[in-house]
Amino acid sequence: MTATGTGPFIYQWYKGGNGDTTNPIAGANASTHSITGINFDRSSYWVRVQDACGAHADSNAVRVVLTDKRPLIFVPGISGSVLVEEGNRELWPGPIAFLPVCAFGNLTLDPSEPSHTIFASDVVRSFEISLPGVTLYRYHVYDSLLAKLVDDGGYRTGQNETLFLVPYDWRKTNKSDGGTAGLLQSKINLVKSLFPGMNIDVLAHSMGGIVAQRYIMDNRSIHHINKVVTIGTPWLGAPKAINVWRQAKGSYPCHNVFQLSRSLRDGSLESTS
């Protein structure tokens, strides 16, 4: 803060909105103020300057975000998001069972079939393989990774969030216009509003890396990404996965994968874009 006029000048810094004098900062009586010893804070600060005659002027309040972690966005891979329909009925992964019953008909992309309102509610953290009344096994999908990021990486969810998730409808296009890359852009815009002036890191698994690439290619000079780390992204393609997707053939432990493939394959060209 630079003051002009008849000195000496008296400075007093405040925490809060412009003109709010209810939170004066003890000892903050210089033209500049440094904030130390805080891991996370999102507040506004301003200063009042008084001259030798008793007249004063107030600065505009400046919003300051202090963080010990650069914000991180996680983008899951194909089939890595929970899909639900209206009424919060979970369609995927849902009740995975070794039964000759197809539970995925509502996920079809076949334009000749009735359409359903389906959205992604979360990343798939874990799911159970079961027989009626008996849980055979629990698959851990992303719960261990997310716990590692929080417990060992120091990222936060909930209050003062620094870890953000981008679940998406992985049946559909990855394009920016109405597709998954557009969802990533919306999330980045949200995070930018919470952390102004700071670029964002992206961690992506499998097809999530393709989504991140699509977003960056569509926003080459304004993507606001600091670094992208990918895990198992099929940069050279995934012919075996396409074989299962298109023909419902392959060797997977749960045959419901093939049921899902049969439900989707008539409209699967959209998901490869």
User: Using one digit for the tens of pLDDT, what is the confidence trace for 240-257?
Assistant: 766 666 655 544 444 444
The DSSP bridge pattern shows strands 163-165 and 72-75 to be parallel
Other Cβ atoms closer than 10 A to 137? 11
Distance of CA 254 to the CA centre of its chain: 29
Q: What is the enclosing helix (H) or strand (E) of 239?
A: helix 239-247
Q: Do the Cβ atoms of 253 and 95 come closer than 8 Å?
A: no
Cβ(52)–Cβ(8) below 8 Å = yes
Beta bridge partners of 140: 126
Amino acid (1-letter code) at residue 230 = T
Mean pLDDT of 230-240: 87
pLDDT tens across 4-30, in order? 777 789 999 999 988 899 999 999 999
**Phi, psi dihedral angles at 120 (to 5 degrees):** -90, 125
Within 2-123, strands assigned E span 10-15, 40-50, 56-58, 62-67, 72-75, 81-85, 89-92, 96-97, 118-123
| DSSP 3-state of 210 | helix
Q: Could you tell me the domains of the chain?
A: 10-67 (no CATH), 72-272 (3.40.50)
pTM value is 0.76
Q: Each residue of 36-77: pLDDT tens digit?
A: 777 777 788 999 999 888 888 999 888 787 788 899 999 999
Phi and psi torsions of 152, nearest 5°: -100, -30
Percent of the chain with pLDDT over 70: 84
Contacts of 103 (CB under 8 A, 6+ apart): 91, 94, 95, 256, 259
Report helix, strand or coil for 9.
Answer: coil
Reply yes or no on whether the pLDDT at 259 is more than 80.
Answer: no
pLDDT, one tens digit per residue, over 133-144 is: 787 888 899 999
Task: Return the biggest CA–CA distance within the chain.
Answer: 88
Please provide the average confidence, as pLDDT, over all residues in the chain: 83
CA distances from 49 to 2, 10, 44, 119, 194 (A): 9, 6, 17, 53, 29
